[in-house]
Copies of this chain bind each other. A is one copy, B any other.
Amino acid sequence: MKSAEAQHVFRALADPTRRAIFEELVRKGERTVHALTANAGVSQPAVSKHLTVLKRAKLVGNRREGRENHYCARPEALAPAAAWMKDFGAFWNERFDRLEAVLEGMEK
C-alpha cells in the first residue's frame, strides 16, 4: 500500500532538524553535506544520518561527485503524506477540492 510510504514521510518530517535540512534544500537547491552542516546546528555525522532518513522517505536524492555528495530535495515525495491528508482531513476536502485532481496525477 501507499500508506507504507506515508509512514516514512511522516516519520522523516517529525524531526525539526530534518525539516530544516529539507527546507534549505528546497530553497537553495542542490547542496553538499559540508554546506548543509554549516547551517544545521549539529555535527556532520548527525547531518549524514538525517540525510539517510530523508532519503529513505525519498524526500531527497543525492549525486556523488568525487569526494563531494550533493543532495537535492524531492518535494514530490510529499505526495503520500498529502494523499493521507486528502483522505482524512475533512477540512482539507471541504475547501481544497481542486487538490484531488492534483493528487491523482501524482499517483502514477
Contacts and interface: CB of A to CB of B under 8 A. Distances in A.
Contacts of A19: 10, 84, 88
A78 B96 contact: no
From DSSP, what is the main secondary structure of chain A's interface residues?
Answer: helix
A11 B16 CA distance: 9
Contact of A96 (B73, B76, B102): B102
Interface in A56-103: 73, 75-76, 78-79, 81-82, 84-85, 88-92, 95-96, 98-99, 102
Tell me how many chains of this kind the complex includes.
Answer: 2
A27 B10 CA distance: 21
Given A78-B89, A98-B102, 14 more contacts: A10-B10, A19-B84, A27-B88, A73-B88, A75-B89, A75-B92, A78-B92, A92-B102, A95-B105, A95-B106, A96-B98, A96-B102, A99-B99, A99-B102
Interface of A: 7, 10-11, 13-14, 16, 19, 22-23, 26-27, 73, 75-76, 78-79, 81-82, 84-85, 88-92, 95-96, 98-99, 102, 105-106
